[in-house]
Amino acid sequence: MQPYFVVCGAAVLFAVLLIIRIRLTRSSGSRTVSGIEIGNGQTIGSRSEQDDYFASMTTPVGTLAVVADGISGLANGRMSSTLAVTTFTKAFAKLEDASNLNEYFAGAASQSNRSILQNLNGQGGGTTLAAVIICGYQLYYGAVGDSVITIYRNGHFQTVNSKHTAETLLEERVLAGQMTSEEAKTSPVRNQLVNYLGYEGFESMELGTTPIRLYSGDYVLLCSDGIQEALTEIELEEIMRKGGTPQEMADTMIDAINDKGFKSQDNATVLILAIG
């Protein structure tokens, strides 16, 4: 029986260490790993529950950062976002090399979707997710839903992923002459998600076909939609231009959102990675 208990003990110890590592990466305050300084910020807004969840971790493969936004208005949003982030971090911890990171993203997304659906057991729920892996000066990403990945470079933002909302479908209808631009802008379903984790019809997440080249001085941002809805791109650029550490920038963004005091302010989360 002894070998069995030794194996179980080792497994429990590994799980505890992994949980501690994830919790440490979620604490406030900038930290620098492998030339990447990381800051984070989060507010519950006017919601009764914080449905956003995030984490970052570094292994010999590279640095992972992931943000998930549990769908507001649906039960189990917190469970969905937490389960998705945990699945992605655990899978990343097992990677031995960066030979096929798209396979990692796709596999973790499929596993997350299955696990969330099993836990929902027919109830409403789900989550968006945006994840990046930085290996040296190469950025790999996977995204589903409306959480945003952007690169801040030379004073301006460059959006990395697209939003999986009805807005895209409406714009296609405008181009096809099936509706006017004004009708698309005022459509009540404009922000409705058409793809997310915990969705019965989920097939795949958006993946980068090739890695994106990063440069020293770049900033990679992962934002839940509560950031984008509260602050304009101009306001975000102004905060970034003022400089400071990634943690100071993240804190300033959250302070700016809280100062606006919107009655319908959604949960908002930002992760900022400064490339050294």
Total domains present in the chain: 1
pLDDT mean by block of 10 residues, the chain; 276 residues: 41 41 45 82 94 97 98 82 98 96 98 96 92 97 97 96 82 81 79 89 94 98 96 97 97 97 95 97
Residue 20 domain flag: no
The torsion angles phi and psi of 179, rounded to 5 degrees, stand at -160, 160
Residue 63 domain flag: yes
SS3 43: strand
Residue 12 domain flag: no
Residue 240 domain flag: yes
- Confidence (pLDDT) at 175: 81
- Confidence (pLDDT) at 268: 97
d(CA 85, CA 266): 19
Domain enclosing residue 89, as ranges: 35-273
Q: What is the pTM of this model?
A: 0.84
- Residue pointed to by tokens 């908002």: 268
SS3 33: strand
Alpha-carbon torsion (194, 198, 200, 204), positive or negative:
positive
Residue 225 domain flag: yes
- Confidence (pLDDT) at 174: 77
Instruction: Name, in order, each residue with C-beta under 8 angstroms of 131's C-beta and a sequence gap of 6 or more.
Output: 64, 65, 66, 67, 88, 105, 108, 141, 142, 143, 222
- Confidence (pLDDT) at 20: 38
Residue 235 domain flag: yes
Residue 23 domain flag: no
- Confidence (pLDDT) at 10: 42
- Confidence (pLDDT) at 192: 81
Compute the 3-state secondary structure of the chain and give helix, strand, coil in percent, each to the nearest 5.
40, 25, 35
d(CA 169, CA 159): 19
Domain with residue 235: its CATH number is: 3.60.40.10
The torsion angles phi and psi of 44, rounded to 5 degrees, stand at -80, -15
How would you classify the pairing of strands 36-43 and 31-33? antiparallel
Residue 29 domain flag: no
